[in-house]
Structure 1
């Protein structure tokens, strides 16, 4: 679900406007105690105690069971690209669910082919490229992990990841994830993964040799507060892997699908520096709220990788998830959300930089990190924001993450900007 602690994930509303106050609402404290008790009685505690019981959403807002309205500046951690219950998304899901739901991987369907074709188009993929659909970002990275091992043919056991990275929580992607607290409870884990220091080209060069199968890199690291790599780092990674005969895998699970104002972050000249990877992984915003992941091989990399029967998934590429993904990509085009994301994100970053208590703003487009000045606690700021009706995410002790729906407007954001100085000051 989450790449940090449990996020606030809104439930789906009907596509008809509703009043802010639900019928038969209980007093807020009593109602909260009821759903908290119910949650602890029937659900796993793996995500900790939920912060809210969200019951519906519309556009950039969500409502809890007491009727309180929230400006959602996290979008399910960069998942709800079109916001909550966008009409195009709802229509695509409804029509597909009424037509064909699940067919297994013995067959294909028009939504699967059409979504894969659209990904080829927006990524400008060369001939020979291919898409494998799964159900999530961690599964997309698992497939890439297996591809790297398969490409190596057993003679290249080492896969390199970068400190600060988050690639998922299933066993292969967990091995790639940098945070020791995530990995250590499940030791010994998957062997053969080496983590190199962030931003250190010399350390990366020293680690890559003829035993290296692949290097995994997020163009922007979300887990550590939205951090880009130093200029020249991705270029060096591409050159080093190519010279060594290793694969370069770019994890765009969070940074892809227009989140940075480009279809994928590595296509941004400043972020990607013109780098063309061997494998791209995607998820989160791709389904706009439906679970889907994609592992995309670029050009002739596909000829070296998985063959029939070497990998699979029951639900990956199902017609409903693919219809949702196609609706997301087509709506981004028709509503000009690439330009909107770039312009709105640039404006938002400029406004945030001027706020008292903000030390720095990182990221691009509508994937932004707010580094707080010394003495301010991100978790406390996020808690005050939630109380005030704003959903944001504390990813480190001094950093907040914003990943609002791509449809968010300046007018939507003004109340948060007005409130932020007081939220930081406490």
Structure 2
């Protein structure tokens, strides 16, 4: 079937919550994917920061195939060697304090749901009761009800009100944080880099101050590293400069790059205060931590370590930032490693914003990226991307922008 025929099938059979897909993708190798009509694309989005190893990475494929031939699912009445191995690897690479624990989920929003239940349980057990949960303006934590309640964008939340209550949004500033904290705060959830808001890092010192204030107020600090973690910024955690060791957050949530393309998430408790909240029967999931997902996670971590992909993310990110910063038609470039945003200088040159139009034109020319708003392009390519692939994109982008804004 042709791509158009397959898209017709999609519209007929699938719920249209994502709108019409732009392509039907059939296979991938490295950083490139192929559509149903044979077109090829350099993927600079990586499944929205998921495909850390690109496509069909030999180590990842072998690990999933081998595990599928042994054991795919056993339920949470049992454990398996891949689950134990990945938990140990995570605690090791994150330099988690002694006593830290891992809870595996299927996605980032599920990891955040688990974290929010932990926050609520902690607040309900406190004397006096702690009822407030703080989240940040422009933050995004998922689409399920609890995670959506702490997601800032009103358009996402409005159709589903009433959502779980007691949530307050504050500006991501030190001053707003100081004003909002109090003895009745059960927890605070933050992204160190607000990816869906256009790759916007929190102000310097914000995370350290959040740790001090939540510790002093007996509140749970949840750091959502779903998009920014697992090597995406050239470090295992984007929050590592301000948090860690004795200043570890109470909870870290992970997903996306953790599985290298296989659905998996994790909530990690990093302090005794957080680890002691949830006990048997308090939370669960049927598929979380299954052998296939955890085997994929371990293979992803091993490849990142052995192939020097943290360093590659840093060096390729620097190459991208330098090239974009020198490019006419771009006002501002933000990001670290391979999580980067570029703001277009003539965003109003196209109805609906230039960034979505640039994304569409780039796709016609064989590049996949996305827009987080009318002016902002987001790049989150596989951590294996090469200098020649970066240069290929940088050489093509000025012509793409000109074709859109000068049309």
Distance 1:161 1:85 in 2: 37
Matches for 1:15-414 after TM superposition, within 5 Å: 31-154=2-125, 155-198=129-172, 200-267=173-240, 269=241, 275-375=247-347, 377-414=354-391
Tell me the secondary structure at the aligned position of residue 142 of structure 1. helix
User: Residue 371 of structure 1: CA displacement?
Assistant: 1.0
C-alpha contact (below 8 Å) 1:134/1:294 kept by paired residues: yes
TM-score (norm 1): 0.91
Tell me the secondary structure at the aligned position of residue 46 of structure 1. coil
Q: Which moved more, 1:147-156 or 1:243-252?
A: 147-156
Distance 1:297 1:327 in 2: 23
Q: 1:83 to 1:171 in 2, by over 3 A?
A: same
Q: Deviations over 1:385-415 (max 9, x none)?
A: 0111100010111001000000001101112
User: Residue 336 of structure 1: CA displacement?
Assistant: 0.8
Distance 1:280 1:394 in 2: 27
Tell me the secondary structure at the aligned position of residue 305 of structure 2. helix
C-alpha contact (below 8 Å) 1:74/1:392 kept by paired residues: yes
C-alpha contact (below 8 Å) 2:256/2:265 kept by paired residues: yes
Distance 1:224 1:349 in 2: 18
Distance 1:32 1:99 in 2: 36
Query: Mind listing any 5+ residue stretches in structure 1 that lack a counterpart?
Result: 1-25
Tell me the secondary structure at the aligned position of residue 17 of structure 2. helix
Q: Deviations over 1:99-119 (max 9, x none)?
A: 111000000000000000000
C-alpha contact (below 8 Å) 1:132/1:294 kept by paired residues: yes
C-alpha contact (below 8 Å) 1:232/1:273 kept by paired residues: no
User: Residue 37 of structure 1: CA displacement?
Assistant: 1.1
User: Residue 32 of structure 1: CA displacement?
Assistant: 3.1
User: Residue 344 of structure 1: CA displacement?
Assistant: 1.2
Q: Which moved more, 1:373-382 or 1:222-231?
A: 373-382
User: Residue 302 of structure 1: CA displacement?
Assistant: 3.7
TM-score (norm 2): 0.95
Q: Which moved more, 1:188-197 or 1:154-163?
A: 154-163
Distance 1:37 1:173 in 2: 33
Q: Deviations over 1:235-286 (max 9, x none)?
A: 111111111111111000000000001111111x2x6598521100000000
Distance 1:114 1:299 in 2: 21
Q: Deviations over 1:85-112 (max 9, x none)?
A: 1000000000000011100000000000
Distance 2:95 2:376 in 1: 35
Tell me the secondary structure at the aligned position of residue 379 of structure 1. helix
User: Residue 45 of structure 1: CA displacement?
Assistant: 0.4
Q: 1:229 to 1:132 in 2, by over 3 A?
A: same
Query: Mind listing any 5+ residue stretches in structure 2 that lack a counterpart?
Result: none
